[in-house]
Amino acid sequence: MIHDFLPISMEDMRRRGWEQCDFVYVSGDAYVDHPSFGHAIISRVLEAHGYRVGIIAQPDWRDKESIRILGKPRLGFLVSAGNMDSMVNHYSVSKKRRQTDSYTPGGVMGRRPDYAAVVYGNLIRSVYKDSPIILGGIEASLRRLAHYDYWSDKLKRSILLDSQADLISYGMGEKSIVEIADALNAGIAAKDITFIDGTVYRTKSLDSVYDYQLLPDFEELCSDKKKYAESFAVQYRNTDPFSGKRLAEPYGGTVFVVQNPPAKPLSQQEMDDVYDLPYMRTYHPSYEAAGGVPAIREVKFSLISNRGCFGGCSFCALTFHQGRIIQARSHESLVKEAELLTREPDFKGYIHDVGGPTANFRFPACEKQLEKGACPGKQCLFPEPCRNLKADHKDYISLLRKLRAVPGVKKVFIRSGIRFDYVLADKSWEFLRELCKYHVSGQLKVAPEHVSDSVLALMGKPRHAVYQQFVKEYQAMNQSLHMDQYLVPYLMSSHPGSTLKDAVELAEHLRDLGYMPEQVQDFYPTPSTISTCMYYTGYDCRTMEKVYVPKNPHEKAMQRALIQYRDPKNYDLVVEAMRKAGRTDLIGFDKKCLVKPRKLAEKRVVPEKRTPDGRKKEQKGEKRYEDSHRHGSILRNGKGERHSDRGPVSGHSADLGHRKKKRKA
């Protein structure tokens, strides 16, 4: 096997002695041969099974020649929009076009189309009429059946139909893609590949489909939002590889989209095998002139130790994509990869992360999940930790200690986030001690998301009291270690169920902390989440109870402004919100008030003066005015980052008195 990048041109193919690829992988991302990128994993897995794979990264969808550069593949095209849904990649929650794309050379925006998987599928079909097309990746996975599309504000058909593809390989795809390849290689037509777990196919009749549950017709879903909520609940209950049923969704009675049960989770050995493949571990050298691919920076010196998440947050699509059963790599595999990192010329001794969707999940929530799967109608941590939950960090602690001992490693950080209620469920405080002592870079990221228990219940998050208990334990642990470290809480505005009163409650909590986030994340209705279903239908599909949904842009702006109530630019929105919420008691001079009356604020503003040469003249009272509106700004402790739509936020101290004393000293 040649240890090199996979072919991206005919010249590369000739150098390998190939006349034709078995598969051509078309990706919306730039070609980065690293196991954090879906196209790298799938192409290397196929290569390991003897198949020849070429890569067409970010083809020009307006030019048919761009899809011909590797010729017609022997077995078919693999298509992915990339590591992110292309619409999330392109647009903020306010539907404004983003300025940069981290998955494109130089961060340039506009190198992939909107709804990329659909556009690429139709482009290929227009050139190669009879070539099999298999969709994969997050965009196809979460749009595999009828789904609400936030950007067009309507229900869309299965992406399988709109893209003219033959199959969808949903989820992580390592098992199903090999079975698909073997079937095609054996001469089975794409339309006859109907038997593989983790796939979606179309058929004109259900006569040969067995043991399926029939979903409502697409036209019925479009005309009745409540019916869609009920249908989505069926989909959600059938995401487990052990208990999930086959689902069939009709389209006018002339075609049916059939979803086979999810593929079985990978064993530890299979996980090790996937991450031990001969990745080049960086972007293709052809991107060097453009400055490389920015997305590699976050993952180059990080280790993926697990996948899947039994946390079950309503706004997260992990249940639909990776599933609820944790799959983890062995210590030996991770130590081996850490040793590889130390040999990189630009490695500085710091492993940036050891984790996955949730860093401190290292094995299934309970032993029965390995045989019977996750409970269809229950959550492992919500509303309380299940009595069968195995909350134990011993394996993770052991792994972190081994990684710290690797020669050349100075520090091992945990940046992918931890589930704080799971930490509290562990009877031992050993992990919290190790975490604070060795693995926090001054700030620890956690995701309480809100403080209102009614909103948290809809989010599938623990009660606020649980987070408060964690803050107390975290603070106590740091004090016992004589360390000055802080929590970075991620907060969300305008989630379904959140009223202005709930937003005011969150603002009061931030007032008591003396903390103002520099950026706030509005709820983003991405495909195939419970929260998105709430947003579209107004129903909680788990209970079929009605849910209040803040959709009005002005109300959403007020909820967001309340979280940043100290910012003078938000003054009018904050006052309006408090009046509408019946909380004018928070406008005044008391220390519990959020803002002062407008007239006083106007008096405090000192008119700007400038020197004769135009420079701003420093004035008495300027700094005092800033502090009076943003009291607590001195408590910002640098910036943390999160790999999502949230952007940077500030850290804060739970012990404000301690910080004030320190400042005076």
Over residues 312-325, mean pLDDT: 94
Task: Say how many C-beta atoms besides its own lie within 10 A of residue 540's C-beta.
Answer: 21
Asked if the structure places residue 627 within a domain, the reply is no
Answer yes or no: is pLDDT of 520 > 90.
no
| Least reliable range by pLDDT among 102-111, 206-215, 516-525 | 516-525
- Could you tell me if residue 416 is inside a domain? no
Residue 381 lies in a domain: no
**pLDDT at position 488:** 85
Q: Using CA atoms of 636, 641, 642, 643 in order, give the dihedral in degrees to the nearest 10.
A: 160
Strand, coil or helix: 305: coil
Half-sphere exposure of 512 (CA within 13 A, CB side): 8
The pLDDT assigned to 630 comes to: 29
Q: Give yes or no for a contact between 490 and 579, defined as CB atoms under 8 angstroms apart.
A: no
CA angle 158, 160, 164 (to 5 degrees): 130
* Residue 567's pLDDT band (cuts 50, 70, 90): very high
Separation of CA 305 from chain center: 16
pLDDT tens profile 12-32: 999 999 999 999 999 999 999
Residue 518 scores a pLDDT above 80: no
Q: 555-559, long-range: CB within 8 Å, 24+ apart, which pairs?
A: 555/494, 555/500, 556/493, 556/494, 556/522, 558/500, 558/503, 559/493, 559/494, 559/498, 559/500, 559/503, 559/522
Helix, coil or strand: residue 201: strand
Residue 499 covered by a domain: no
In this predicted structure, the answer to whether residue 602 has a pLDDT above a threshold of 80 is no
Determine the residue type at 281: R
State pLDDT tens for residues 206-216. Answer: 999 999 999 99
581: in domain: no
β-strand pairing of 486-493 with 443-449: parallel
pLDDT score, position 1: 61
pLDDT the model gives residue 44: 98
pLDDT at 616 over 70: no
Q: Provide the pLDDT confidence category of residue 659 given band limits of 50, 70 and 90.
A: very low
**Strand (E) or helix (H) holding 156:** strand 154-156
CA 554 to chain centroid: 27
Indicate the burial class of 228 (C-beta count within 10 angstroms; 0-12, 13-18, 19 or more).
buried
pLDDT at 364: 95
Which 3 state secondary structure label does DSSP give 33?
A: strand
In sequence order, what DSSP letters do the residues of 240-285 get, joined into one string? Answer: -TTTPPEEEEEETTTEEEEEPPPPPPPPHHHHHHHHTS----EE-G
CA 605 to chain centroid: 42
For residue 428, give the nearest of 402, 461, 456, 395 by alpha carbon. Answer: 395
Span 287-304, pLDDT tens digits: 999 999 999 999 999 999
Query: b or e along 488-515 (b: 16 or more beta carbons within 10 Å of the residue's beta carbon)?
Result: bbbbbbbbbbbbbebbbbbbbbbbebbb
Closest CA to 330 of 270, 371, 390, 265: 270
| Per-residue pLDDT at 622 exceeds 60 | no
Residue 82 falls inside a structural domain: yes
**Tell me, what's the pLDDT at 360?**
96
Instruction: Count other C-beta atoms under 10 Å from residue 602's C-beta.
Output: 8
Question: What span, in angstroms and rounded, lies between the C-alpha atoms of 287 and 512?
Answer: 48
Could you read off the pLDDT of 545-563 as tens digits, one per residue?
A: 999 999 999 999 999 999 9
Given a cut of 90, whether residue 608 has pLDDT beyond it is no
DSSP string, 319-375: HHHT-SS-EE--HHHHHHHHHHHHTSTT--SEE-EEESSSTT--S-SSTTHHHH-S-
The pLDDT, as a whole number, for residue 516 is 81
Q: pLDDT tens-digit profile of 442-462? A: 889 899 999 999 999 999 999
Whether residue 384 is predicted with pLDDT greater than 60 in this model: the reply is yes
For residues 66 and 60, is the Cβ–Cβ distance under 8 A?
Answer: yes
Residue 133: domain span? 10-198
Q: Give the whole-number percent of the chain exceeding pLDDT 90.
A: 85
Confidence of residue 655 (pLDDT cuts 50, 70, 90): very low
Structure-token match 């009429």, residue found: 129
Average pLDDT, the chain: 90
Has residue 470 been placed in a domain? no
CA dihedral 369, 644, 228, 551 (to 10 degrees): 140
Residue 539 near residue 488 (C-beta atoms within 8 A): no
Cβ(196)–Cβ(238) below 8 Å: no
Which pLDDT does position 598 carry in this prediction? 81
Residues 6+ apart with CB under 8 A from 549: 496, 497, 534, 535, 538
Give the mean model confidence (pLDDT) for residues 406-415: 96
Q: Where are the alpha helices (DSSP H) in 66-216?
A: 86-90, 116-127, 137-142, 159-163, 174-185
Q: How many helices (H) and strands (E) are present in the chain, helices listed first?
A: 26, 26
147, part of any domain? yes
CATH number at residue 35: 3.40.50.2300
Burial class (CB in 10 A: 0-12, 13-18, 19+), 373: buried
Which one has a higher pLDDT value, 613 or 117?
117
Mean pLDDT of 378-400: 95
In angstroms, the Cα distances linking 562 to 161, 491, 504, 579, 640 are: 43, 12, 6, 12, 21
Is 449:459 a contact under the CB 8 Å cutoff?
yes
pLDDT category, 629, cuts 50, 70, 90?
very low
Measured at the alpha carbon of residue 37, what is the angle toward residues 33 and 40, in degrees to the nearest 5?
Answer: 45
Please give the average per-residue pLDDT across 49-65, as a whole number: 98
Of 236, 151, 243, 246, residue with least CA distance to 199 = 246
As for how many domains the chain has, the answer is: 1
- β-strand pairing of 350-351 with 353-355: unpaired
Q: Is the pLDDT of residue 610 over 70?
A: no
Query: How does residue 599 score in pLDDT terms, banded at 50, 70 and 90?
Result: low
Q: How far is CA 151 from the centre of its chain?
A: 18
